Amino acid sequence: MRRLGVYALGGKAFSFSVLERAVVGAHNGATLHGWSVLAAQRSLLIGAERFDEAIVDFLVRESLLSAPDEL
């Protein structure tokens, strides 16, 4: 069994899912694995547009703090 966190940041939403890979059966002597979604959440408050704005704001603040005379 293996668990994996997957995020998607695009458009106007941020999504995060927890997936689990487990044995789902066997066929002709081969073990078959599949993925199940254990949890999923989506937020419209943390979309890509807001995320982009936050990154730009952070970079501007950091550059002002490190070299205020160069801007």
Q: What is the pLDDT of residues 14-40, one digit of tens each?
A: 889 999 998 888 989 898 989 999 999
Residue 14 has a pLDDT of: 84
Domain ranges of the chain: 2-70
Residue with tokens 């293996």: 2
**Alpha carbons 20 and 35: distance in angstroms, whole number:** 5
Please report the pLDDT score of residue 55 as a whole number: 80
Closest by Cα among 49, 51, 17 to 36: 17
Q: What is the mean pLDDT of the chain?
A: 83
pTM listed for this prediction: 0.55
Q: Is the pLDDT of residue 67 over 90?
A: no
Q: Which long-range contacts (CB under 8 A, 24 or more apart) does 8-11 make?
A: 9/46, 9/47, 9/48, 9/51, 10/48, 11/47, 11/48
